[in-house]
Amino acid sequence: MAVENQDLRKAGLKVTLPRVKILQILESSDVRHLSAEDVYRALLDAGEDVGLATVYRVLTQFETAGLVIRHNFDGGHSVFEVARGEHHDHMVCVESGKVIEFHNDEIEALQEQIAAEHGYELAGHSLVLYVNPLK
Amino acid sequence: MAVENQDLRKAGLKVTLPRVKILQILESSDVRHLSAEDVYRALLDAGEDVGLATVYRVLTQFETAGLVIRHNFDGGHSVFEVARGEHHDHMVCVESGKVIEFHNDEIEALQEQIAAEHGYELAGHSLVLYVNPLK
DNA sequence: TTGGGTGCAAATTGTTTGCAATTGT
DNA sequence: ACAATTGCAAACAATTTGCACCCAA
């Protein structure tokens, strides 16, 4: 039995075919950030007969379970990526749509500091850099 | 003639009643970040008969003209705020929903630097801190 | 067996668009 | 006068939900 199944069980989710398949797609895709539609099409390409509604339901359950992270980059739709423990932020190339991940301890620390200066505790954050290739 | 009208003309927009009213609402509201619906309801409350579609059209025109800034905080809908020249980021209290503005040159500089390190030029960014009040 | 899970179609939500009527300039 | 602008309703896109059927435990 594959590793994913343990993850699903641990999350209190029954190990069903759609859930396993979706998790596999998220984990095996070389593009790490996929929209619900992307996952749906990947399923169809793989010959799996799963409804789009199910994809949305499952992705939301995965998010709740902490298995995936949902991002709301510019432009309406959400994208999902498998959670791998270490936190990182994103850079999106406005020209190609390519998503690059990065992490910067200094920025992370400054955020904590700023929140504290205002009498708050940092609960989370969203940082997205929109960039263009240097000529 | 009010100041707003100059702004509208400068933006190449005819000075029409809906546009003037919407600009006034954005400028006079004590809550600085309003959704299209918020603006629409404010118009109705003020007895103005403006269509929701017009609110969306006008807000988009204002954004293009640089008069307002559109934000996509968590949760589907966009919010707008009047642009006042100086750039700033946002902190959202997850408990109260309150929005606090802040600015940090160090973070701004780090962003440019990170983009450059990856061979990109920073075109824009979105930074939102989700925070909780310190006990 | 049986309650959770799924597919499908219909419903929602936020936003955009076509078009005829209206209004600044 | 004339093009820009608006209102309304219909069109859209992304996502959610109701419900009868299905299947993992």
Least confident span in A78-92, B8-22, B74-88: B74-88
E strands, A83-119, are 89-93, 99-102
Whether the predicted model's global pTM rises above the 0.85 cut: yes
Average pLDDT of the segment spanning A121-131: 96
pLDDT of B96 strictly over 90: no
**pLDDT at position B121:** 97
Please tell me the distance from the alpha carbon of residue A134 to that of residue B19, in angstroms, as a whole number: 38
- The string of pLDDT tens digits covering residues A59-112 is 999 999 999 999 998 878 999 999 998 999 999 998 888 999 999 999 999 999
Tally Cβ neighbours within 10 Å of residue B50: 18
Give me the percent of chain A exceeding a pLDDT of 90: 87
Instruction: Please state, rounded to an integer, the average pLDDT across all residues of chain A.
Output: 94
Task: Assess whether A78 (CB) lies less than 7 A from strand D.
Answer: yes
Say if the Cβ atoms of A129 and B119 lie within 8 Å. Answer: no
Going by pLDDT thresholds of 50, 70 and 90, the confidence category of residue B97 is confident
**What integer pLDDT is reported at residue A1 of this predicted model?**
59
Instruction: Give the mean pLDDT of chain B.
Output: 94
A62 near A49, Cβ under 8 Å?
Answer: no
Q: Strand C: which bases are under 7 Å from protein Cβ?
A: 4-10, 13-18, 23-25
The verdict on a CB contact (< 8 Å) between A111 and B120 is: no
Tell me the backbone φ, ψ of residue A61, rounded to 5 degrees.
-65, -40
